[in-house]
Amino acid sequence: MKDTMIGVDLAKSVFQVHGTSMTGHVKFRRKLTRPQFRKFMAEQPPALVVFEACGSASYWAREVETMGHEAKLIAPQYVRPFVKRQKNDAADAEAIVIAARQPEMRFVSPKTEEQQARAVMFRSRERLVRQRTELVNALRAVLYEQGHVFPLGLVHLKRIEALVEEPENGLPELIVSECRDLLEQIAESEGRAATGPKPPRTERITERTAKLRTLAAQTEMARRLQTMPGVGPLTSLAVEAFAPDMAQFRCGRDFAAWLGLVPRQHSSGGKDRLGRVSKAGQTDIRRLLIIGAMTRIMGRAGAKVPAESWLGRMLARKPKMLAGIALANRMARQIWAMLTKGEDYRDPALATA
């Protein structure tokens, strides 16, 4: 039985450490550098070490566990109410310990090295897609200022390239040069040949997409998730990389709430007041689930939604986007059920038939 709780306020160079007994009696307060912190923790008897969830928290949680300690992570918003008066590193470390002693506190699961590696690959692709979108919008803005309007979407890039390379396009030479440079950057991000004289340096988005699809085919969890309509390799990999162990959630509704797919509450005096979705959870999984839900509504499968089904009745009385969010909530609950029971997706309509 561990009799010491250590709260650690992490930073780049200097860590603040606050140690107490399990009842709250202060044992020590230290300010340590990174090498000193590692040596100090190795010399301590087994203790409960609590970190505020941040970029390096999962790494240090794994490190202290190899030293024989138990590690837990707390979300920053749960620590903030326990900071006394002025905010500083010492007050933050003390607040972490106080928050961890609360019997109803919710903790964050430390990520494994494999989860962090998959998350890095996923975020790398997302960053490149975002940069490509910025480049395309910048190109359209330059041409808009010259009187040429193009619709949204990458499918119109060929029309833009044709205009830029047209000898009688009426554009100044400096504008043509800038547009060619933007087109080359877009081509490099996509891994395809550009119109200009420079060849693409490397395949970026295409290469990372292929890697993510390969990763999604390597695990049983990702394979199982892809049996659900609207869940593809990216969504399954995002769930695997960013979601905690499903056993931490009591039910599927708790997982949907963790993703921010439930209405924000402003209830008081016994009156329920529900607002828009809270968006208080993992952004990537929530966004991909909503996109997957909308493909089931507006994609090729949209025309095949039976009018008597739950989704068909929802679409008959609600806007498509609202129905899509409701379907994403339903998909989140189904994902929880699939992973906790270890089963592939079963169509509810066929299950009740």
pLDDT tens digit string along 236-283?
Answer: 999 999 998 898 899 999 999 999 998 888 788 888 887 788 888 889
* Segment (H or E) for 264: strand 263-265
Task: Say if 213 falls within a structural domain.
Answer: no
With a cut of 90, say whether residue 327 has pLDDT above it: yes
**Residue predicted with more confidence, 280 or 29:** 29
Number of domains in the chain: 3
Q: How far apart are CA 232 and CA 178, in angstroms?
A: 37
For residue 197, the model assigns a pLDDT of 45
State pTM to two decimals: 0.82
- Would residue 155 count as lying in a domain? yes
The percent of residues in the chain predicted with pLDDT above 90, rounded, is 65
Greatest CA separation for the chain? 81
Of 139, 174, 206, the last residue of a domain is 206
Model pLDDT, residue 91: 94
DSSP for residue 201:
S
Instruction: Tell whether 106 is covered by a domain.
Output: no
Same-domain check for residues 131 and 95: no
pLDDT 10s digits, 142-199: 999 999 999 988 888 999 999 999 988 889 999 999 999 999 888 877 655 445 444 4
Rounded-to-integer distance, Cα 302 and Cα 314, Å: 13
Assess contact for 335 and 242: CB atoms under 8 A: no
Residue 353's pLDDT band, with cuts at 50, 70 and 90, is: very low
Domain endpoint, select from 179, 206, 233: 206
Q: What local confidence, expressed as pLDDT, does residue 32 receive?
A: 96
CATH number, domain of 67, equals 3.30.420.40
Residue 260 lies in a domain: yes
Q: Based on the domain organization, do 53 and 154 belong to the same domain? A: no
Half-sphere exposure of 23 (CA within 13 A, CB side): 1
Within-domain flag for 162: yes
Task: Kindly indicate the confidence band of residue 301, based on its pLDDT and cuts at 50, 70 and 90.
Answer: low
In a domain, 215, yes or no: no
Residue 14: domain span: 4-100
Instruction: Using alpha carbons only, give the angle 281, 252, 256 rounded to the nearest 5 degrees.
Output: 25
